[in-house]
Amino acid sequence: MRVLSGVLACALVVGFARDAAPASTFAPLTAAEVKAIMTAPDRHIRAVDGGMNKALMAGMRRSGTFAHLVLALNKSDVIVYIETGRVLQIYDPKDGLQVDGCTTVLARIEIDFLKELRWPGTVEIGTGIAEIGRSSYVFSQAIFNDGACAARARSTMVLIDRATRKARPLPPELIAQLKRMLTKNG
């Protein structure tokens, strides 16, 4: 497993007093609050598609519970650490996972939040490969803080052709590289 260290960053975009209340008591956000969250430069919630962005914004205005969940995810640096560990491995100059004429896309991500991370602090990101498929592979990652596992993640990546945007079988060289990164327990 590759391990990277980094300093925990405090990424609070907008702090609302209602964050500590039970989800059933949350009021929907105002249009101004939603706009502030969705346009903040350090936000974690981003939608590439304009329609998805509008749906997120409408959901936060309609449902206090949905707004609370989006705010909680937006404040979580765990997803940033997972993305960092994955991207650094894919684009590593020496041992990267790039294939000429192709790119990888994230098809699925699962995250188990196990322990609170507090700022300031240090995290270690362990990144390995859990599974190898025909045109996909699965990263298995763990975030450690103070010697304890704070989060686990599994991310399914699919290799696609840059021109056709269709899945391509993993070439033998990539499979060999992925096998060197296989973890024992997935």
Q: How confident is the model at residue 136 (pLDDT cuts 50, 70, 90)?
A: very high
Which residue, among 50, 43, 107, has the nearest Cα to 77 in the 3D structure?
43
Read off the pLDDT band of 22 (50, 70, 90).
Answer: very low
Whether 5 is covered by a domain: the verdict is no
Instruction: Determine, yes or no, domain membership for 186.
Output: no
Q: Which residue has the higher pLDDT, 114 or 63?
A: 114
What's the pTM value of the predicted model, to 2 decimals? 0.62
Same domain, 152 and 163: yes
4 in a domain, yes or no?
A: no
91, part of any domain: yes
pLDDT, one tens digit per residue, over 60-79 is: 888 877 777 777 666 667 87
Per the structure, the count of domains in the chain is 2
pLDDT tens per residue across span 87-113: 888 888 888 899 999 999 999 999 998
Statement to judge: residues 169 and 87 lie in one domain: yes
